[in-house]
Amino acid sequence: MNNNRNNTTTIPSIDKILVPIDTTSLSRKAANYAIHFAEIEKAKELIVLHIIEDVKGGGAIALRAKYGDTKLVEGFRKAKKDSAEEIIRPLEEEAKIKGVNMKGEIIYAQGKSVVKSITEYANKNDVDIIVIGGGDLSKKYLVVGGSVANGVIKNSKCPVVVIR
């Protein structure tokens, strides 16, 4: 046993946890872990973040919008937001049961990638740790473009826990 007190390391407190979610089961698994981490760490806040990506430029909705049909884009965004709320709602209930202070956030990418949206949000909101689902993190997959989880790992200023 080493009694040298100068060699001790302290683990920083985890007050704010961010878990980006989408519609995948892996995302839900990451959210479950994040709720558990928030509970055991007695985190002050768990943020469940859903990013609504922009309408793709070459798609039918974007082409219709280009020619003035903005109602279609508004309908698309509303449907995406409603879907995100349906994903967040059961997580809020689970967090409440466990005594975790959870906030659901839905933001629009506004021309940014999902990775940039997540990392900018984390930095702006002083997040202590990100918990994210990581699908295919194989070397072969990462060479051809990567994943959102890999991009968050590379660009985040805080620790990232990847759930597989």
User: Could you tell me the pLDDT band of residue 68, with boundaries at 50, 70 and 90?
Assistant: confident
* 155 touches 113 (CB < 8 A): no
Residue 46 DSSP symbol:
E
Tell me: the pLDDT tens digits for 109-158?
A: 988 999 999 999 999 999 999 999 987 555 544 444 458 998 999 999 99
Element (H, E) at 20: strand 16-21
Burial 30-40 (b: 16+ CB within 10 A, else e): bbebbbebbee
Considering the entire predicted model, what is its pTM?
A: 0.85
Helix (H, G, I), strand (E, B) or coil at 145: coil
pLDDT digits (tens, 9 = 90+) for 1-56: 344 445 567 878 999 999 999 999 999 999 999 999 999 999 999 999 999 987 76
pLDDT of 8? 65
From 80-89, 97-106, 126-135, 145-154, the region with the lowest mean pLDDT:
145-154
Q: What is the pLDDT of residue 7?
A: 54
Q: Which helix (H) or strand (E) holds 103?
A: strand 102-108
Provide CATH code, domain 13-163.
3.40.50.620
Interior angle at CA 132, CA 129 and CA 109, nearest 5: 95
Structure tokens at 111: 């021309």
